Amino acid sequence: MFSMCASTAAAKDAAAAFQVFPVARSVAQVEAQCADLLGDVARRERRVAAGADSKVGVLAGMDGITQAVDEQLAPIAFQAHVHPNTAVRDAAEACTLRFQDFASRLYQNAKIHARLEALAPLDPIDRQMREDLLAAFEDAGVALPAPRRATARRLSNEMAELSQAFERQVREDDTLVAFTEPELNGVPAAVWREAPRDPQGRVLLGLDYPVYGPVMETAHDPAARERMWRAFHARGGQLNLDRLAALASKRWAYAQLFGLESYAEFQVRRRMARNVATVQAFLDEVKAVVQARERIDLADLRSAKASELQQPLAGTPLKRWDIGYYIERVKRERFALDQERFRRHFPPQASVDFVFALAGRLFGVGFEPLEQALWHPDARAYGVFEQSGGQRLATLYLDLYPRENKYGHAAVWSLQGSSTRTGQRPAAALVTNFDRRGLTLDELETLLHEFGHALHTALSTTRYAGQAGTSVELDFVEAPSQMLEEWVYDARVLALFQDVCAACEPVPADLLARARQSRSFGKGLRFARQHLYASYDLALHAADVAEPMALWARMEAATPLSHEAGTTFPANFSHLAGGYGAGYYAYLWSLATARDLYTAFDADPLDAATGRRYRDTVLAHGGQFEPTILVTRFLGRAPNNNAFFEWLAH
């Protein structure tokens, strides 16, 4: 409730139950809920502006709006990505745009802004909350002269609409690529046997990860790989290139309203890195480390190709659609490692139980299945509880397998943030696209990564929902997840599988040892690519606005493998259109923090005392303190990039 007093908060706390997911049943229902929400938040805004929340103050009043959004809008916005019904997804998207318009106005409310400015915070948490809210109001244009304020609002709404249309285009791509059976030579039959056929009897394959990945990594026929690769990189098409160009110029115009030279400056000034020059210096250092390694990797792959095709090295060019295939081939030859080998060890449900057991060991929390009808029969609900005492902590939803029109990557939606003030419990939804036969080690790593985001949400105990869990600076948000990726390479950790799945055959020690060795192979290529993505994103959002496709073609052409004419990668680079605009560098930046955090677990990744300290000092606080403060408290020293650069070089 909006101005909940202490006694009702306590009552709610005692009765706190797990969330019952509000499934969208029809378009009419989504529209009615949306209208209710918009009416509710508008009433709340008026009360906050009028100071009618004198008992709890403006911070709690604003957080009441966040909690209303958590409760009513977050499930709708999430279902725009996973709901099986197209009309419901469309209605959900329309609702998020209507809310965007409300939010653009809310954060320009001069009366609320004045109340925040006048507020003397009582403690560091309130001080951070006040600062965050002031930043949000200022970034929405509250202090601009009226005509520019109106422009800011219009631009915000137009940018939200463009991002949404861009992502929808990629998500709803229904391209099918036709292959004869001989063309799929090398690809595990389980990947294509059940696929539909065209009138000529050719197998029709879509571009989902469980299909695209195996074709790129195992199809012997280079022409088949090329066809698949080109189709994958054509998603989004000219429509999305146009949308990206429009987004980049609107973002630039938005930054100009504030007298800043670029959208990158506008965004980075609120993040851990603080300014673009610092990001640039960091990226330069990354490049210096990986450049030589990238050349060595490419030479390795090229000689693997020449030897497979039994032709001279000199006449063997390496193409982009060769990379995945020859990386896997070299890994098989050099390390006798085949990712497919892991599927029998990691059945999907056992993999879920394994990450739950790991969270139990490290953080003292348990998970119980909840009986709930969700948005699709594949989705599952779990309650997260404290192992000692059984206190209910959070609700977690899992939606693990691919289906038509579902979000195509792996991600977590934070649906509800914790608030100790009102007793609101966290809820998060974890979405992946795994193969039902089981996971590879790479996929187990992905599961643990996403689970890291879900835990960040679930184990947060912040005062305000607006600062809960993953509501942290974008260049910190990946660190807790990237840190956990390490765990799947440790035999002591994988042994937990036998606790949760007696029938699961243990991963042989030598297989895991080879996986660890082979993990380093291709690091040069992988991080050179990450560096290119981050640099492209910064260049696209720099002071001079470039045409996205021309800029990409130029930057990619400067890499050793050059640019393939006719491919339009920026048209499906959803990160850029979505929340990671001028923020892709965050993956590398966060990884440096993740490697630093991991130094505390290096000796024993199952140490419960370290896990507990991490939970209490980092996860519990979400964004109510700056990341540097949290990391310093956990490590007992100032953070640094030493562990990251050492890891990158080896």
Binding site for Zn ion (CB under 5 A): 478, 481
- CA dist 237 and 253 (Å) reads 25
Task: State which residue, 156 or 481, has the beta carbon closest to Zn ion.
Answer: 481
Strand ranges, E, within 43-189: 177-179
The C-alpha atoms of residue 344 and residue 362 are separated, in whole angstroms, by 26
Least distance to Zn ion from the beta carbon of 589, Å?
13
Taking the least distance from each CB to Zn ion, the nearer of 481 and 574 is 481
Nearer to Zn ion, 462 or 481 (CB): 481
> Of the two residues 328 and 450, which places its CB atom closer to Zn ion in the complex?
450
- Rounded CA-CA distance 613/355 in Å is 19
Select 60 or 448, whichever has its Cβ closest to Zn ion.
448
Nearest distance, CB of residue 455 and Zn ion, angstroms: 12
CA distance 625 to 119: 19
Q: Which of 363, 361, 382 lies closest to 372, judged by CA? A: 382
* CB contact at 8 A, 572 and 548: no
Q: Can you give the length of the chain in residues?
A: 650
Query: Alpha helices, DSSP H only, in 541-585?
Result: 548-557, 574-577
Find the helix or strand (DSSP H, E) in which 264 lies.
helix 263-268
CB of 482 to Zn ion, least distance (A): 7
Least Å from the CB of residue 559 to Zn ion: 25
By beta-carbon proximity to Zn ion, the closer residue of 361 and 449 is: 449
* One-letter amino acid of 393: L
Amino acid at 127: R
CB of 196 to Zn ion, least distance (A): 33
- Least distance to Zn ion, CB of residue 545, Å: 28
| Spatial distance between the Cα atoms of 297 and 323, rounded to a whole number of angstroms | 10
d(CA 585, CA 590): 9
Beta-sheet strands, E only, within 170-275:
177-179, 203-205
Q: How far is the CB of 412 from Zn ion (least distance, A)?
A: 7
Kindly state the helix (H) or strand (E) to which residue 393 belongs, with its residue range.
strand 392-399
Q: Is 414 helix (H, G, I), strand (E, B) or coil?
A: strand
- How near is the Cβ of 10 to Zn ion at its closest, in Å? 35
CB of 486 to Zn ion, least distance (A): 14
- 453 burial class (0-12, 13-18, 19+ CB within 10 angstroms)? buried
Q: How far is the CB of 587 from Zn ion (least distance, A)?
A: 8
Burial 312-325 (b: 16+ CB within 10 A, else e): eeeebebebbbbbb
Q: Minimal distance in Å, beta carbon 445 to Zn ion?
A: 12
Smallest gap from Cβ 177 to Zn ion, in A, equals: 28
* CA dihedral for 155, 159, 162, 168, sign (positive or negative): negative
Closer to Zn ion by Cβ: residue 395 or 481: 481
455: exposed, middle or buried (C-beta count within 10 Å: 0-12, 13-18, 19+)?
Answer: buried
Q: Nearer Cβ to Zn ion, position 107 or 413?
A: 413
Provide the minimum distance between the beta carbon of 450 and Zn ion in the complex, in angstroms, as a whole number: 7
Write the single-letter amino acid at 5. Answer: C
Q: Is 478 or 537 the residue whose CB approaches Zn ion more closely? A: 478
Q: Toward Zn ion, which CB reaches closer, 217 or 485? A: 485
Query: 431 vs 507, which CB is nearer to Zn ion?
Result: 431
Question: Which residue has its beta carbon closest to Zn ion?
Answer: 481
Q: How far is the CB of 410 from Zn ion (least distance, A)?
A: 8
CA 438 to CA 349: how far, in whole Å? 9
Quick one: CA torsion of 536, 542, 548, 551, rounded to 10 degrees? -60
CB of 453 to Zn ion, least distance (A): 6
Kindly compute the dihedral angle of the four CA atoms of residues 132, 277, 645, 579, in this order, to the nearest 10 degrees: 50
Nearer to Zn ion, 445 or 478 (CB): 478
* Residue (265 or 478) nearer to Zn ion, CB: 478
CB-CB contact of 443 with 213 (8 Å): no
Residue 240 or 481 with smaller CB distance to Zn ion: 481
Catalogue the long-range contacts made by 607-610 (C-beta closer than 8 Å, 24 or more residues apart).
607/362, 608/361, 608/362, 608/364
Give the separation between CA 352 and CA 346, rounded to whole angstroms. Answer: 9
**Residue 581: which of 169, 233, 236, 156 has the closest Cα?**
156
Q: Looking at beta carbons only, is 440 or 481 nearer to Zn ion?
A: 481
Q: Judged by CB, which is closer to Zn ion: 129, or 534? A: 534
- Token pair listed for 159: 């940018």
In this structure, are residues 577 and 244 in contact, taking their beta carbons and an 8 Å threshold? Answer: yes
How do beta strands 411-416 and 427-431 pair?
antiparallel
Nearest distance in Å: CB 540, Zn ion? 21
